[in-house]
Structure 1
Amino acid sequence: MDIERFKNQHVDILTRIAALRKLVHDGIEANVHAIARQVRDLGTVVKLHLAIEDRILYPAVRQSAHPGIAAMGNAYQNEMKGIANEYIRFTNKWSDPQQLAADPESFRAAANQVLKTVYQRMQRENHEFYPAIERI
């Protein structure tokens, strides 16, 4: 299975997270509209990535002749549901510039927590899941 598309999407997502962090570092109040737009745009990319995984990657992995890979795919998909729900709530709330302006420190805390979770998950996929798929 060719998973280059998924790897490339990870690079795009990580690049967007880095851009968001830079905006936050430069000042939430000064960049409230740009941050809200970046949160919204990042959310769109992440949701697309998740949808493609659900429609293409996980079904293909479940049909693998290798039971270990199929089980790994099920575990990754089940774990992602909670992460995805948390991320969607984050995007829905913090893509609003008024929410950001009203409570920048809560945004900062939420962003640190959610983006760390997303980052760690993508690293596990990049270093464990995708290489396992490529080996078969």
Structure 2
Amino acid sequence: MDLDELQRQHDEIEALLARFRQAIADDSSPQRLGALRWQFARQLMAHLALEDRIFYPNMQRQPHERLRDTAARLEMEMAPIAQSFSAYIARWSDDRIAREWGDFCRESREVLDRILHRMHKEERLLMPLLADAGLVETPRIRQAG
């Protein structure tokens, strides 16, 4: 399990998220963001797949009960966020975005905030436990956001 890779992916997702937020900052001025939206979606879905197939199953095999319990809780909490994101992507076609730009911006900000908060929560709760278990040397813990 490569925790540096997971952190690198968090960093990439956060950078894309910031670009996405900037593109939707003005509810009154529609932007063309199809490529950015799909790039963000692909990166996020690839990351979630890695977590589902490798990261969280590995956490469940760790001898540290608190790490296992925290990872299990976070994994369970992620399912509705992932489902919500998939529904959001399906709901907003390029045509609908152009017609309902303001609504798209508002919903997008909510979705992006939920994802960012979740990533930071994962880092804040799991990284210290991973360090305690000797799985990472120095945890990088971001503030809630």
Given the alignment of the two structures, is residue 9 of structure 1 paired with residue 9 of structure 2, yes or no? Answer: yes
Does structure 2 retain, via aligned residues, the 8 Å contact 1:3–1:130? no
Question: In structure 1, what is the equivalent of residue 22 of structure 2?
Answer: 22
Q: TM-score, normalised by structure 2?
A: 0.84
1:23 maps to a residue whose letter is A
Deviation string, structure 1 residues 77-105 (Cα, Å, up to 9, x no partner)? 100000100111112223x2211101111
Given the alignment of the two structures, is residue 119 of structure 1 paired with residue 116 of structure 2, yes or no? Answer: yes
The answer to which of 21-30 and 66-75 deviates more is 21-30
Q: Distance in 2 between matches of 1:39 and 1:76?
A: 25
Distance 1:91 1:134, change over 3 A: farther
Does structure 1 retain, via aligned residues, the 8 Å contact 2:30–2:101? no
* Alignment root-mean-square deviation, CA: 1.7
Given the alignment of the two structures, is residue 103 of structure 1 paired with residue 100 of structure 2, yes or no? Answer: yes
**Higher RCO (C-alpha under 8 Å, 6+ residues apart):** 1
1:134 offset after TM fit, Å? Answer: 2.8
Question: In structure 2, what is the equivalent of residue 132 of structure 1?
Answer: 129
Q: TM-score, normalised by structure 1?
A: 0.89
**Alignment: residue pair count:** 133
Consecutive aligned runs of 4 or more in structure 1 exceeding 4 Å deviation: 26-30
Question: In structure 2, what is the equivalent of residue 82 of structure 1?
Answer: 80
Of 56, 59, 83, 2:57 maps to 59
Gaps of 5+ in 1: none
Structure ranking higher in helix proportion: 1
Distance 1:60 1:28, change over 3 A: farther
SS of 2:31 mapped into structure 1: helix
Gaps of 5+ in 2: 134-145
